[in-house]
Amino acid sequence: MASTPDDLKYTKDHEWVRVEGDSARIGITDHAQRQLGDVVYVELPKVDDRVEAAEPFGSVESVKAVTEVLAPLGGTVAEINEGLNDEPESVNTDPYGDGWMIRLTLSDTSQLTGLLTAAQYEDYVKDESGD
């Protein structure tokens, strides 16, 4: 099983969330980046864009495919990871650190209750892959 930090929340769409007060940093999980393969481009929204939970906010292009990234929570984009413009491979090498994608100012913190813990996410990935 891939690294799944306990201090994050997860979605069944393979995004992670690090809650920081009334904001949340978001990226894709180690499992997701391994499924995608080598990431060559990341498209992100603009600062101040509104995103809705479960709606696409950007995409990741890899050598295998282009995949939409869904917002696990709704809010306003407060920051984007500009470093991914020059080093999109950070999504592969450090998905929970330098490979983060956006930081949202949350519009409704009650949406956090629908996210998975690390243990729940690991169980979901095992079930999904038939392990």
**Cβ contacts of residue 31 below 8 Å, gap of 6+?**
2, 14, 125
The residue type at 52: E
Element containing residue 62 per DSSP (H, E): strand 56-62
For the chain, the average pLDDT equals: 95
For the chain, residues with pLDDT lower than 70 are 1-2, 131
Separation of alpha carbons 57 and 76, rounded Å: 11
Which pLDDT score is estimated for 131? Answer: 63
Alpha-carbon dihedral 54, 57, 63, 65, rounded to 10 degrees: 50
pTM above 0.85, yes or no: yes
Distances (CA, A) of 126 to 1, 64, 129: 8, 22, 5
3-state secondary structure of 35: helix
Residue-wise pLDDT for 56-73, tens only, equals 999 999 999 999 999 999
Q: Are 79 and 102 in contact (CB under 8 A)?
A: yes
Tokens of 52: 């809705």
Which pLDDT score is estimated for 1? Answer: 41
- List domains and CATH numbers for the chain: 9-109 (2.40.50.100)
